[in-house]
Chain A
Amino acid sequence: MNSWRIDARVFCALMKREWYTIVDTSKDSLIDGTVHLGVQFILIRFLFPTLGMPNSLIAPLFVGSIITILFIQGFTTTFNQVFDLQGPRVIDYYLTLPLRPAWLMGVYIARTMLSIAVTTLPFFFIGLPLLGSVLNLDLKIVTFSALYLLMLLCFSLWYTAAGFWYNLTWVLNNLWPRRIFFIFLFGCLILPWQAVYDFSPIIAYLFLWNPVTYMAEGLRASLLAVPAPIPIVASFGVTISSIGLGVIALKAGMRKRLDPVM
């Protein structure tokens, strides 16, 4: 059996194990997602319109809240990974299995993608039909699916990489306030980019330094019947570039923290 086939088979065995946990915890993840959605439903359907917020701002906010889930769930990945590295180090066992580290990282990435995706399922399967009239939907399914998958990959990569770069104390004390918070806040998740531009073009251009702005605007363009101020090609381009950088960060972090036989 050649080593590629061995890698692939061990990868599948590890994914089976991950799937086992994901299925086991999926009930909780779905409840979490539904609770988030419930809050969003009350805000979007009742509170914001009552307060006079125009539909042009409400619908983009809903899409932003889906990306917020990626931020929150991704953090759990980093925490679990850092905890393992400073605690039991199950990863050391995995590193002695007959598969190369790149494939092992593939397992970590796929696991994170799946667990985040499960939490966002209620938004798509319950939220979109329920809030369709308010959101003014225009679903471009292929574009949306492709961009969403790339975003899941990007978040998984960066959060997994963060798990190798930082120690547990730093992650607990600083990852949100010193890293995620700024990316989150200046990522056009709350307001669409056009609204920021209308307020101040300078601030809007500053937002363009953040890849999350492109992801959020791309997702809005593929879900809603709104004009896209940022071309969808740019959203794909920036997301793919961020994935590339994420791969580099993950590889460097893995070398730094694990020093594996590559």
Chain B
Amino acid sequence: MSQKFLVIDNVSKIYGSGPQAVHALDNVSLTINAGEVFSLLGVNGAGKTTLSSIIATLHPATSGNVLFKGESIYNNITEYRRHLGFCPQKQNLDHELTVYENLLFAGRYLLMPEHEIKQRIDELMTQLELTRYASFQINALSGGNKQRVLIARALMHKPALVLLDEPTVGLDPDIRRKLWELIKQLKTMGITIILTTHYLDEADTLSDRVCILDKGKVRLVASMQALKEQHEMESLEDIFIKLTQEYQKEAA
């Protein structure tokens, strides 16, 4: 497992200016290793989505840098994006196209050869149990199936890094479990996954390491095992509640 796959180096993000400026991220530094599932945790407004949107190159950092395999992503952003699969919190599929067409065009946008696109769509459709929905318009799908299409779209070009921002929000428990299995499968394929989630059971089940963000700052980065040993607790949820209470006391 090669180290320093993705380095977040002193990244800050400020929205607005003057007295109304919001410091969404404050000198965040992290290292994400190849092949791991790395979860970003935090209460609402902690900066999870801001950080994942910077890694996804949706927004620039106000200061700091993001290094992918040792090189700033901003030096060759188009090349970096070819290694990245982003599954946003909002289901932003193309509603004018069918499920199959969404994946077909995703492959084309990412410059895959036409014969590979079709093969890849078949693979993903089978893997994500979407085959029977191939000709469905997006609006005709359930929330869970839309989410699966979104994940399939992010995986079309076999990215080395996948960003999943709240991938199971609003889904039924059985579909959540199926998506967990999928994320575990992706990990066995050597894909590095950054998971942003509110669900601590999800992070507990899937993560190799977690990062707790609080008011835009990194409060903790640890492996699941080390975290549980250190706090002598079995559940990530208990640890998280304990830590956030500590942070609140500090702030007060």
Contact = CB atoms under 8 A, between A and B. Distances in A.
A16 B104 CA distance: 12
A13 B82 CA distance: 15
Contact of B57 (A7, A88, A91, A261): A261
Given A6-B78, A88-B95, A89-B90, A96 B84 contact: yes
Is chain A's binding surface mostly helix, strand, loop or mixed? Answer: helix
Given A21-B96, A88-B92, A88-B95, A259 B59 contact: yes
Contacts of B88: 89, 92-93
Given A98-B78, A99-B78, A261-B77, A92 B109 contact: no
A130 B45 CA distance: 63
A9 B111 contact: yes
Nearest to B111: A9
Given A13-B108, A88-B93, A3 B57 contact: no
Contacts of B74: 261
Nearest to B61: A261
A10 B84 contact: no
Interface string B113-140: 0000000000000000000000000000
Interface string A248-259: 000000000001
A102 B33 CA distance: 33
B94 interface: yes
Contacts of A21: 96
Q: Interface size for chain A: under 10, 10 to 19, 20 to 34, or 35 or more residues? A: 20 to 34
Interface string B72-111: 0010111101101010101111111100000001001111
Most buried by B among A16, A90, A100: A90
Contacts of B95: 88, 90
Contact of B111 (A88, A92, A98): A98
Interface in B35-57: 56-57
Interface string A18-29: 000100100000
Contacts of A91: 92
Given A16-B108, A88-B93, A89-B90, A96 B78 contact: no
Contacts of A259: 59-60
A180 B57 CA distance: 35
A237 interface: no
B193 to A, nearest CB: 16
Nearest to B138: A88
B105 to A, nearest CB: 5
B252 interface: no
B21 interface: no
B58 interface: yes
B110 A17 contact: no
A97 B84 CA distance: 9
A24 B98 CA distance: 14
Contacts of B110: 10, 97-98
Contacts of B58: 92, 95-96, 260-261
5 contacts: A13-B108, A98-B82, A99-B78, A259-B59, A261-B60
Q: Closest 8 A-B residue pairs measured CB to CB?
A: A98-B78, A13-B108, A98-B81, A261-B60, A3-B78, A6-B78, A96-B86, A88-B92
Given A98-B111, A261-B59, 7 more contacts: A9-B111, A14-B109, A90-B94, A97-B81, A97-B110, A98-B109, A261-B77
